[in-house]
Structure 1
């Protein structure tokens, strides 16, 4: 059996926030990690931190919605870091607005990054997984998949991620590949800071308002999501597939 130390993971949207936390955790778990984001330069500090801690990592710049760029990025990872058998589809954007104000451009932008991006990345990587007869796919959904005012595009995309994940689990299971989704609740990142700014409130006030409704009494951190990813990609999680795990400080769904 191949050991974790010889396995390569790709994490998208990894230059900041949840993606950075996941990349650092997987490196600590022994994976070589491709830190992928739109801007390669923004990935290099994350790579430097991983390498300083004794891990192996590679900064990769690619637009996950661009078919040619995705294939080139995955080819590069396979050549320079190792054939990838773990994929974390984390890349995402928000273009929030109420339905009657939302433009088709903002709808398309969110769908392209979340859904098209996850599809293109998974299609490009799955061949390595099926060849190895081992693979782990973790897709980032959200509690917004259950519906959230002002996020008709994001909510639809994140709900779509869940259906995408369950179908991957059915199609790829016989090759030793699992597919699961994580649906974070409120996580303290640049994206949630941007939401507070859009609403015209300070992040501290926004956070305090949200936390009042969270049973565990605190906001989430990237490390909370990284811990869940670590479980799903582990050797012992091979009988867990097609699941959606809400990491939200309380019951959802």
Structure 2
């Protein structure tokens, strides 16, 4: 059994999507970010960066003590290697998948996350930031669109690269993007959305980029104003 410490952000959803695609038994452990549960000592013992997702694998390959892991990219790779699924075994195929997994971690996620923040959560409009991150996210959508011109999935066959990227395309409207401008990305996105595992993953999940009401100042402080002193 794997404990998945979860909140419905794109990074949390990618870990949940892997569990569903691979058919792994897991227990969902909700972490209420706006209530500061990510700063509880018991969670920090698992995820010292106070971010979700994190996992505790109670049955690691080869036995032994449970393995704890934070960082969604590391979780993707660990679970793929543990199960022998969703990552090729040959060197060339593995390299293809890994470069796109790291591309998502280093580019698509951070840039899309920034424009999502400034469009949805910032208390005031910051035109320079909105323009900067909208343009960079558009560029990254374009990179992915071009990659998908001649293949059904990002690395050719369905893999953790697709699982990592899909949740970061779901909030495309909050990113200020129009999928009609990226036809190959749109085709891939629609095929991903139709997968049974995706349907199960997103069933009943809150859209964190479309909050029903403005967040309170207290919640804003917890989510966005924590610094090093908060850890002391």
Does TM, scored on the shorter chain, surpass 0.5?
A: no
* Structure with more of its chain in strand, by fraction: 1
TM-score by length of structure 2 reads 0.37
TM-score by length of structure 1 reads 0.35
